[in-house]
Structure 1
Amino acid sequence: MATATSKEEQSEPQAIVADEEKTESHSNAPTLREPVQDEKQTKPEDGDVPTENESDSEEPEWLTGWKLTSMMTSLTLAAFLMLLDMSIISTAIPRITSDFHSLTDIGWYASAYNLASAALQPLTGKIYMYFNTRWIFLGLFFVFQLGCLICGVAQSSIMLIIGRAVAGIGSSGIQSGALTIIAKSVPIHRRPALIGILMGFAQLGLVSGPLIGGAFTEYSFYINLPIGAVCAALILAVHIPDHRRVRRDQSAIKILTTKLDLTGFVIFCPTIIMLLLALQWGGNEYDWDSATVIGLFCGGGVLLLVFLAWEYRVGEGAMIPLPIVRKREVWTACLTQLFLFATVIMASFYLPIYFQSIKDATPFDSGVDLLPSILSLILAAVASGGLAQRIGYYLPFATASAVLSSIGFGLLSTMNPHTSTAKWAGYQIVMGFGRGLGLQMSILAIQANTSPDVTPIAMAVLVFCQTFGGAIFVSAANVVFTNQLRNELESRLPDINAQTIIDAGAGAVNDIVSKANLPQVLSSYSEGVRAVFLLCVACSSIMFFTSFGMGWKDIRQKKSPVAGSV
């Protein structure tokens, strides 16, 4: 009777057995995620990407061993070089202005870089969503290196400004690209330690700039090139897992015209340029109530409303999808990161002013004096990453970061010309440790609460908030510092032209002021720096409240029958 069984009757149980074997093979495959329940174990179509920290319908591909080491070394070097480039130019500017006779162009050396970087950051996030992550990262890194080379061979101030703009274009996708690559290469429960290493050691670029620039002034812009070559070689040696939202065979032209929201970019770019120019020129090139600054603010504000209306109309296909930004965990993480990096930038600007103007340190020595804050930041960033990975929650570290940062900046605000080395070093350690605890927590919050297919744009928005927040608060700090310094000088030394001392710059205070008046001038500078640190206290306090919206989500590896990695 068994031989009389029809083919149809045999095929059905065979299919069932085949499906069961397929399901079993998936559950036994080395994976770091939970097996899917009540779903077919079939390979998803191109563009279907599993939700982070949830059940997946395809086996994840993770990097381990030498491949992971190579990738992390490359990404950390790239992030280090980006911050090094930002800080090293501050040391090179005196030599540049004397060689090119371009004192009036100083503002553009930083502005060209920041404007190009900020305007392109959301677009690069969108590009990472639809194109191969590794090649886009390498392409942008090459543009960044090309900008550094142009600056190195520049024969005029205009050429140098162009080089800075090109470097800014390349830098627009370096940090967000690095975070996206990590998100695609390791499971979320392993990311805290890795992101802590990346973000922590990259901060060495800020303190290395004055040290390297002071020692190799003529070759400041060439230093990036050999290290950049090593960086590119390391990441070329590794295959980066690639999950895109479109079919691999879809043409690049079609993606550019239908997926990237180029109309939104055309509106967004001049919006950000006008707003950043208004912030950078206000109180420096022009008065805040000048027609130029007011016009830039008005134009930028109107275009911002137009941009938001357009993004709302486009919906999920927008350059900055509003459904993502409206998610509480995302916008609170972005705000937390904005205020955190505002304190990082303000401290990196005004701690050197304290050391160079009040303590009469050289740029090289002031870089050394920053080591307590940088080293404590690195230690805290790496340690908090490991602890968050172990306990599974990032929120406690974000709130602790806000508290310790507030205390640290409060202590720094008590400094005066007579503060001992032990005190200012200790204050920096508290502040640096506080900032380090929270350096990566906003990143983890976004990655834990968004699906992998939108991680690139979410990371780009986060990095944009860092950049834009830094621009806003550097301008605010400049206003606070200058006004406080002017008021103190006019109060302490009414017979001296306060503006003359301000225009001379922090590095020339000890050269242009008489010994009789120097103590009063140094005390005035100290009060100006104190006002900036109080602004940092305010930013850290706001961080405490915004951090609570980042969510309480367990990022540890979920239990599974067999865990591993591929």
Structure 2
Amino acid sequence: MNSDDAPGLGRRLLGGGKHSGQRPLTIRRLWALKDLVNKGEPTEDLDIPLAPWRKGTITFALALAGFMVGIDQSIIEPALPTIIAQFSSLHDIGAYTSAYLIPQCVLQPVCNRLYSICSFSSVYLSSVLLFILGSIVCAVSESSPSFICGRALSGLGAVGLSVGGFRMLALMPAEKEQNVSMGAFSLILGSSVVIGPIIGGAITQSHLGWHWLFWINLPIIGLVLLLVIGVTYTGGPDLRGEKYGLKFWEKLKLLDWLGTSLLALALVPLILALDFGQTYGWKNPRSVVMFAVFGVSLVLLLLHQRIAKEAIFERAILFNRSVWTTTGIFFCALSSVSVIILFLPFLFQVIKDLDPRTSGFLSFPLAGTLAISTFAFSIISTKIPYFNPLAICGTVIFLVSNVLFIAMKSNFSVAEVVGYEIVAGFGMGMAWLAEIIYPRAVLDKHQLATALGYSRMLQQIGAAVAVQISAVAFTTTLTHNLVGLSLTPDEVSSLKEGSGINSHLSPGAKVAVAKAYSKAIRIGLAPSLAWAGLALLFALALPWPRLNNSTNNSEHKNGRGSDNDNGSGVGDVALSVIVPSTETSSVKNDYSAVSGPERNLLVSRLSFDSLHMVDLYDENGRWTGVV
């Protein structure tokens, strides 16, 4: 921009003042325009006015994609007995879930960085295509290895869809709208994991078969693809990351390939070690080597995180008390829930001999109660000064539900299991909003999206590891229990492979096998109880920020005032600028403080419609920028 064009810039940016008839400038647009004027770089902060149909369409597409990400995690649970029977792969029961979760664990930080250096549409649409490809591979799989590969490809696409949803919703122009949207998106991701078994059970039991658990993804996620293309390439905004203007090699450095590789080398060998341990024995060289690789990689990852400039985790965010406590709660709680969901089909189908469709519907109380209680307590949270009592009580109730599950006898009733599901869903729903409320109190919008991305990543790590640990405990105990039964060698071998569950067994043998499964499931659920106990400890460590339920007060996070204009007007903001004299303007936000060689600036403050705008001039009176 030519400096001769500077005079009156503030007035022109504001649209000529109060009576110009142009759209007023919001605070968000001011920050974006500052970057555009002074740096000439694209920014995703620019609050481009969207037509209602565009905003509604993109929000619906993001929600639908997030729903499919959650559904795909758990939709195979009711089909597991059928799948392992077809593939004779009881030892792979944990891998079917972990293969979907591990890519999301490893690539969350990388994907978050990709959105900051690329256009939103290119990263998001690539993620959609990967998700579709993974679904196709799973649908046509005729062996366990190919099925696991398909799950991994779907996981690669899922990480881009979930991270993209959080980042896009974080750019909502009004804070209240943003909070509601991000909270709803987080709930969709969480509750859809519990809804998945319902859909999976119905499809598995139908004439379509389990392969259609993945074929149905194509039209739904294809609709997301069309909606995003429609909004982006028909005159809509081309959102670009805040670091889009960097050179190619600078972008590559930001991705922290070393940290990502170390994270993968820590997680994948751990999962393989748990799998090899139950297949070849815990003292087998394969198991020992995998555990060793996991330990060394974990130490190197921690060292790299400490010394690297662009590490995969931003320490200032991750080590914030509000962030690590809420992340810890949901890391443990989602680990516990994933274990419960893993064993519900075995409780209903194997022990109670119910069909997959009925088994899926009997898993609904957990999801339904979670959604209802989350909605109810989100209203209650607007009437109380502190959220801590709800978070603590919720984790206590969830812990009690785990105790009830483990205390079940082998002759339990279906109503008993459903009742325990309701208790678990109620407890989780009571504490659910903690994931949004506490980080929001101390972080700005972009930091909040990053923090939720970290939380989501660690939740996936917890779920992947917890499922594998419980699967190992379950299969090891089951194998031991089956050996002591009066079964033929063929029946024992068939049950170990998973191909003889509830088939070709005498009535007496079925009762004995059901008891063996019941004992093994209780052992498999024991880690779930430990995870729930840890969630309670994190809840007790939460800070006690007072909830701001007044619509007239502004929230200040890291020195930045919040928007109170709802995208239609201009809010108050005061900016501080360092000037040659000792006197500075009112310090309400030091984001624009000028330092170093630009200290010698003369400041001209213009005020329009309660918005303070600062034009900067050098010592010779030449205009140098605007803040």
Q: Which category describes the TM-score, using the shorter chain as reference length?
A: 0.7 to 0.9
1:233-253, Cα deviation, whole Å (9 max, x unpaired): 33445557957432x4434x2
Q: 1:312 aligns with which of 302, 306, 315?
A: 306
Contact 1:372 1:428 in 2 (8 A): yes
Q: CA deviation at 1:360?
A: 0.7
Q: CA deviation at 1:61?
A: 6.4
Instruction: Tell me the SS of whatever aligns to 1:536.
Output: helix
**In structure 2, do the counterparts of structure 1 residues 41 and 481 end up closer, same or farther at CA, with 3 Å as the change threshold?**
closer
Counterpart for residue 619 of structure 2 = none
Counterpart for residue 507 of structure 2 = 515
Alpha-carbon RMSD across the aligned residues, in angstroms, is 4.2
1:253-402 to structure 2, matched below 5 A, reads 253-283=248-278, 285-315=279-309, 317-388=310-381, 391=384, 394-402=387-395
Contact 2:343 2:521 in 1 (8 A): yes
Distance 1:431 1:263 in 2: 39
**In structure 2, do the counterparts of structure 1 residues 371 and 63 end up closer, same or farther at CA, with 3 Å as the change threshold?**
farther
1:113 and 2:100 aligned:
yes
TM-score by length of 2: 0.73
Q: 1:214 aligns with which of 205, 208, 231?
A: 205
Counterpart for residue 525 of structure 1 = 517
Counterpart for residue 428 of structure 2 = 435
**In structure 2, do the counterparts of structure 1 residues 152 and 471 end up closer, same or farther at CA, with 3 Å as the change threshold?**
closer
- Range moving further from structure 2, 223-232 or 495-504: 495-504
Contact 1:63 1:186 in 2 (8 A): no
Counterpart for residue 566 of structure 2 = 564
Structure 2 unaligned residues grouped into runs of 5+: 1-6, 39-44, 555-562, 569-627
Q: CA deviation at 1:541?
A: 2.3
Distance 2:76 2:361 in 1: 17
- Hey, which of these two has a bigger chunk of helix by percent? 1
1:139-158 to structure 2, matched below 5 A, reads 139-153=126-140
Instruction: Tell me the SS of whatever aligns to 1:330.
Output: helix
Counterpart for residue 178 of structure 1 = 165
Contact 1:23 1:41 in 2 (8 A): no
Contact 2:76 2:197 in 1 (8 A): no
Q: CA deviation at 1:464?
A: 1.9
Counterpart for residue 83 of structure 1 = 70
Counterpart for residue 51 of structure 1 = none
Distance 1:94 1:126 in 2: 39
1:478 and 2:471 aligned:
yes
Distance 1:307 1:206 in 2: 36
Distance 2:196 2:294 in 1: 32
Counterpart AA for 1:222:
W
Counterpart for residue 250 of structure 1 = 246
Instruction: Tell me the SS of whatever aligns to 1:312.
Output: helix
Structure 1 unaligned residues grouped into runs of 5+: 1-13, 49-57
Instruction: Tell me the SS of whatever aligns to 2:35.
Output: coil
Distance 1:98 1:531 in 2: 22
1:408-440, Cα deviation, whole Å (9 max, x unpaired): 222333333433343332221111222233345
**In structure 2, do the counterparts of structure 1 residues 429 and 158 end up closer, same or farther at CA, with 3 Å as the change threshold?**
closer
Counterpart for residue 45 of structure 1 = 35
Distance 2:289 2:548 in 1: 47
Counterpart for residue 70 of structure 1 = 57
Contact 1:311 1:318 in 2 (8 A): yes
Contact 1:184 1:240 in 2 (8 A): no
Contact 2:366 2:424 in 1 (8 A): yes
1:404 and 2:397 aligned:
yes
Contact 1:185 1:240 in 2 (8 A): no
Contact 2:405 2:420 in 1 (8 A): yes
Instruction: Tell me the SS of whatever aligns to 1:221.
Output: helix
Aligned residue pairs, count: 536
- Range moving further from structure 2, 378-387 or 100-109: 100-109
Q: CA deviation at 1:500?
A: 2.5
Contact 1:197 1:382 in 2 (8 A): no
1:213-257, Cα deviation, whole Å (9 max, x unpaired): 3322243322101111222333445557957432x4434x23432
Q: Which has the higher contact order (CA 8 A, sep 6+)?
A: 1
Q: CA deviation at 1:185?
A: 2.2
Q: CA deviation at 1:442?
A: 2.0
Distance 2:176 2:515 in 1: 49
**In structure 2, do the counterparts of structure 1 residues 416 and 454 end up closer, same or farther at CA, with 3 Å as the change threshold?**
same
**In structure 2, do the counterparts of structure 1 residues 349 and 42 end up closer, same or farther at CA, with 3 Å as the change threshold?**
closer
Identity %: 25
1:80-134, Cα deviation, whole Å (9 max, x unpaired): 2223333344566677678888888777655543443332222112222333334
**In structure 2, do the counterparts of structure 1 residues 281 and 214 end up closer, same or farther at CA, with 3 Å as the change threshold?**
farther
Counterpart AA for 2:272:
L
